[in-house]
């Protein structure tokens, strides 16, 4: 009996020891679960829905080769606001006009920063350009310099003769091709004309030859390709070393150095022998480098602008301005070849208005409503930067009940927004008519169509790009009739997309041209 009592006593003692232990473990588990769900440590935090993710890399593998497409598919399951993880970084994916407005209008200030990346750091003078500069005083000053002095409507107008001269040159080039073959590589034509216009406007002359080592075009090509590289080390800090081992950092440093010495040469060319502006010309004739050097010399920027800032701003016009503008032309002609009835209607408008002149002038274009509709429709279906340039939150923000924590990267899927059934009738169909007698515009106020972004960080180059795209497209359809390469029907034309931050055609666009007598 006593043995039994002793046994019972022992059990009770061990149970009485176990109970508080179990309770403590249970409490810790509950606290862990709560904290796991809420990185802020508060039970009130409600994060947007998230797809399942892998340890360490998170959702990175779900991006695939064409992230705008994969992310739209994910959004169809998880909704228009999703929280993903790229490695350690929380990433918000926005896929509706309604949530885009929340980010870029209602809470624009909280999302006005840009994330850091080794690619931007190395290629863009340690974030001294406009597009990647962190939100703050320096960014405010260089952005306003761009908006007021380089890309204002007045300044864009002042480059009209450059655009028109280069368009005439483009037509001559096509006519020269046609003497040996009727097949024209339109991708090459568009890339050259936009590049030449940007070079003349930004640096005063074209850099198409091999006079400065390897050609500027080759250098620019590698630069743009590197801008689109996703570096795993930006998302998983302990894998930063991969950037060095893979040779990426070495390549970035090499291209940055080459571009830097090229831009130094450009600046020197603009300076006189005593280091001051060598020649005075009227403000209307100034290129971007002239403007920046004049502002630097007169000290009128309101902040000291050094040579690195001048070079970084010039570099931005190439990083942000050339491929984007050229991409619109490539996709517009792709869609026109796929839809010959739209091409015919556009030609009818352009030919009636230009009325036998040797080329379409910018004065003619004010009446070309169908031309504008074609460009809008192209920007809706093929926004050149489908996920916009990433932003980063600096504050804790609540959006329609969801908590977005500081340090969250944000991608706005404008490609998905442009194809949303909620906003567009038959969204997958290329139909410029939808924009006739319709006030929807792409300048950042209609969130159904935001290929240039919106808010503080929106694109300052809209008018510049639109003026180039309009005059090039109007003239190319005015001066020539176009057909898909022999044997292929328009609708069969390949539309594969490239990879990278700017999405252009994967393969060059070739088409058959016949001169139109005008
Ligand atoms: C069709 C042509 C173009 C498209 C589709 C385009 C698109 C964009 C987009 C989506 C952004 C980011 C917007 C945001 O974060 O909300 C941007 C920013 C920017 N773009 Fe453009 N762009 C084009 C042409 C140009 C041109 C021609 C220039 C200059 C010559 C330019 C200069 C810039 C700059 C400097 C920024 C950075 C603004 C900032 O961060 O504050 N872009 N662009």
Q: Which of 437-441, 445-449, 465-469 has the lowest mean pLDDT?
A: 437-441
Helix 369-381 vs helix 340-354: crossing angle, to nearest 10: 150
**pLDDT > 50? residue 407:** yes
Taking only the tens place, the pLDDT of each residue in 80-131 is: 999 999 999 999 999 999 999 999 999 999 999 999 999 999 999 999 999 9
Mean pLDDT, residues 173-201 taken together: 95
| Nearest ligand 1 atom to alpha carbon 444 | 16
Mean pLDDT, residues 358-386 taken together: 97
Mean pLDDT, residues 188-201 taken together: 96
Region of residue 459 (left: phi > 0; alpha: psi -120 to 50; beta: else) = beta
- Atom 11 in ligand 1: residue holding the nearest Cα: 459
**pLDDT > 70? residue 274:** no
Whole-number Å distance between alpha carbons of 500 and 503? 6
Q: What percentage of the chain has pLDDT greater than the value 70?
A: 88
Taking only the tens place, the pLDDT of each residue in 230-248 is: 899 999 999 999 999 999 9
Residue 37 structure tokens: 């769900």
- Enter the pTM of the model: 0.90
Sheet (strand 480-483) strand order: 183-185, 510-515, 480-483
pLDDT of residue 285: 80
Whole-number Å distance between alpha carbons of 361 and 378? 22
Taking only the tens place, the pLDDT of each residue in 375-396 is: 999 999 999 999 999 999 999 9
- DSSP one-letter string for 274-343: TSSBS----GGG--HHHHHHHHHHHT-SSS---HHHHHHHHHHHHHHHHHHHHHHHHHHHHHHHH-HHHH
Q: How sure is the predictor about 29, in pLDDT bands with cuts at 50, 70 and 90?
A: very low
Alpha helix ranges (H) inside 355-399:
362-365, 369-381
ipTM, interface predicted TM-score of the complex? 0.99
Nearest to 339 by CA among 429, 418, 466: 429
| Nearest ligand 1 atom to alpha carbon 201 | 30
pLDDT of residue 26: 40
**pLDDT > 50? residue 6:** no
Nearest to 352 by CA among 169, 472, 474: 474
**pLDDT > 50? residue 182:** yes
C-alpha angle with apex 116: 110 to 118, nearest 5 degrees?
170
Q: Which of 130-139, 225-234, 402-411 has the lowest mean pLDDT?
A: 225-234
Taking only the tens place, the pLDDT of each residue in 200-229 is: 999 999 987 655 557 888 899 899 999 988
- Ligand 1 probe mutation, 327, 452, 469, most atoms within 8 A of CB: 452
Task: Identify the three-state secondary structure at position 184.
Answer: strand
Taking only the tens place, the pLDDT of each residue in 475-491 is: 999 999 999 986 667 77
Whole-number Å distance between alpha carbons of 89 and 514? 53
Q: Pairing mode, if any, of strands 183-185 and 402-404?
A: unpaired
- Atom 31 in ligand 1: residue holding the nearest Cα: 461
- Ligand 1 probe mutation, 459, 466, 468, most atoms within 8 A of CB: 459
CB atoms within 10 A of CB 195: 24
Residue 11 structure tokens: 């059990």
């Amino acid at each position: 009996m006593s043995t039994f009592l002793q046994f019972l006593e022992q059990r009770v003692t061990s149970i009485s020891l176990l109970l508080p232990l179990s309770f403590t473990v249970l409490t810790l588990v509950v606290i862990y679960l709560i904290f796991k769900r809420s990185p802020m440590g508060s039970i009130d935090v409600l994060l947007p829905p998230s797809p399942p993710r892998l340890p360490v890399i998170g959702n990175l593998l779900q991006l695939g080769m064409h992230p705008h497409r994969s992310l739209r598919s994910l959004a169809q399951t998880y909704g228009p606001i999703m929280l993903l993880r790229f490695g350690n970084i929380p990433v918000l994916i926005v896929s509706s006009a309604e949530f885009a407005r929340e980010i870029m209008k209602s809470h624009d200030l909280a999302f006005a920063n840009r994330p850091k990346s080794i690619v931007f750091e190395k290629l863009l003078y340690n974030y001294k350009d406009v597009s990647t500069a962190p939100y703050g005083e320096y960014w405010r000053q260089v952005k306003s310099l761009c908006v007021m002095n380089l890309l204002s409507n007045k300044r864009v107008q002042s480059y009209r003769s450059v655009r028109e001269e280069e368009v005439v040159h483009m037509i001559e080039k096509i006519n020269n091709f046609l003497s040996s073959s009727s097949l024209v590589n339109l991708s090459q034509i568009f890339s050259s004309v936009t590049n030449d216009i940007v070079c003349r406007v930004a640096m005063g002359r074209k850099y198409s030859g091999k006079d400065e080592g390897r050609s500027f075009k080759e250098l620019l090509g590698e630069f743009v390709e590197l801008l689109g590289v996703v570096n795993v080390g930006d998302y998983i800090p302990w894998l930063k070393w991969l950037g060095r081992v893979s040779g990426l950092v070495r390549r970035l440093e090499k291209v940055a150095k080459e571009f830097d010495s090229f831009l130094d040469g450009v600046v020197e060319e603009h300076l006189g022998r005593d280091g001051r502006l060598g020649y005075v010309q009227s403000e209307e004739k100034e290129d971007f480098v002239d403007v920046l050097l004049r502002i630097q010399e007169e000290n009128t920027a309101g902040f000291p602008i050094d040579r690195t800032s001048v070079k970084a701003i010039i570099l931005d016009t190439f990083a942000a301005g050339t491929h984007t503008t050229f991409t619109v032309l490539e996709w517009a002609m792709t869609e026109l070849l796929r839809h010959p009835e739209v091409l015919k209607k556009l030609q009818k408008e352009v030919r009636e208005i230009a009325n036998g002149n040797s080329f379409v002038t910018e004065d003619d274009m004010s009446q070309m409503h169908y031309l504008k509709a074609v460009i809008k429709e192209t920007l809706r279906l093929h926004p050149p930067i489908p996920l916009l340039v990433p932003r980063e939150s600096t504050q804790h923000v609540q959006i329609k009940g969801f908590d977005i924590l500081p340090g969250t990267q944000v991608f706005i899927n404008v490609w998905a927004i442009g194809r949303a059934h909620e906003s567009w009738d038959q969204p997958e169909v290329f139909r410029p008519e939808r924009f006739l007698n319709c006030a929807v515009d792409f300048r950042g106020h209609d969130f159904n169509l935001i290929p240039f972004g919106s808010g503080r960080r929106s694109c300052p180059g809209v008018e510049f790009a639109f003026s180039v795209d309009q005059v090039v497209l109007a003239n190319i359809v005015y001066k020539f009739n176009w057909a898909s390469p022999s044997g292929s029907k328009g609708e069969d034309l390949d539309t594969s997309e490239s990879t990278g931050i700017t999405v252009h055609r994967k393969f060059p666009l070739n088409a058959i041209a016949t001169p139109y007598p005008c």
